Amino acid sequence: MARTTPNQYPIVLSAAERERLEAITRVGRAPAGKIRHAQILLLSDRNRAGGRVTHLAISELLGMHVNTVARICRRFVQDGEVPALERKVRLTPPRPPKLYGRG
Listed ranges 3-7, 40-44, 91-95; the one with the highest mean pLDDT: 40-44
- Res. 101 pLDDT band, cuts 50 70 90: low
Contact 45, 18 (CB under 8 A): yes
pTM, rounded to two decimals: 0.81
Contact 66, 4 (CB under 8 A): yes
Give tens-digit pLDDT for 38-89.
Answer: 999 999 999 888 888 899 999 999 999 999 999 999 999 999 999 999 988 8
**Every domain of the chain and the residues it spans:** 15-85
